[in-house]
């Protein structure tokens, strides 16, 4: 299994784990509720990349992508060559530039506001449809999950 697929497989497994621990759901819209300890929106910075996995409302669909840290706060054009991986259930897979899946108008944007808050926007245009959305709010990091597991005596 390629390194990129292993990373995404881990991210998907982590999101399933996190969602089973959560009793509430968040949508990809503004979320100002900081009372929840765990958010189903997962964010990580690892190996020079920033990654996010965001569920879309209660539909069971999700969007996820990974971009270089140098692209944080910048709109990434998905029709241009770059070191990005983008996809989710809405487009039925994960894609890189070499797949030439996304069409004109497709982009992702990710900005870290602070350690536990991000702003994310996406617009996907492909042969069979389009989907756009945004999220600004709390995220869960790997450290958050480990801290919660430790507090609950699961580690």
- In order of 54, 85, 110, the CA distances from 68 in angstroms are 18, 10, 10
pTM listed for this prediction: 0.74
pLDDT band of residue 67 (cuts 50, 70, 90) is very high
Could you report the per-residue pLDDT of 130-148, keeping only the tens digit for each? 999 999 999 999 888 888 8
Return all residues near 74 (Cβ < 8 A) that are at least 6 apart: 109
Is residue 13 pLDDT above 80, yes or no?
A: no
Residue linked to tokens 């497994």: 13
What residues make up the domain containing 72?
3-151
Over the stretch 71-124, which tens digit does the pLDDT of each residue have? 999 999 999 999 999 999 999 999 999 999 999 999 999 999 999 999 999 999
Count of structural domains, the chain? 1
């Amino acid at each position: 299994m390629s390194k990129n697929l292993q990373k995404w497989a881990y991210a998907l497994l982590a999101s399933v784990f996190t969602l089973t621990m959560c009793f509430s759901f968040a949508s990809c819209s503004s979320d100002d509720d900081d009372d929840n300890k765990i958010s189903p929106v997962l964010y990580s910075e690892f190996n020079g990349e920033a990654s996010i996995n965001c569920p879309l409302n209660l539909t069971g669909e999700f969007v996820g992508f990974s971009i270089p840290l140098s692209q944080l706060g910048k709109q990434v054009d998905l029709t241009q060559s770059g070191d990005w991986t983008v996809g989710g259930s809405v487009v039925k897979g994960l894609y890189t530039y070499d797949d030439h899946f996304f069409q004109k108008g497709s982009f992702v944007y990710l900005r870290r506001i602070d350690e536990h808050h991000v702003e994310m926007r996406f617009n996907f245009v492909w042969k069979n449809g389009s989907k756009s959305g945004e999220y600004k709010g709390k995220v869960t990091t790997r450290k958050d999950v480990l801290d919660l597991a430790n507090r609950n005596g699961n580690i």
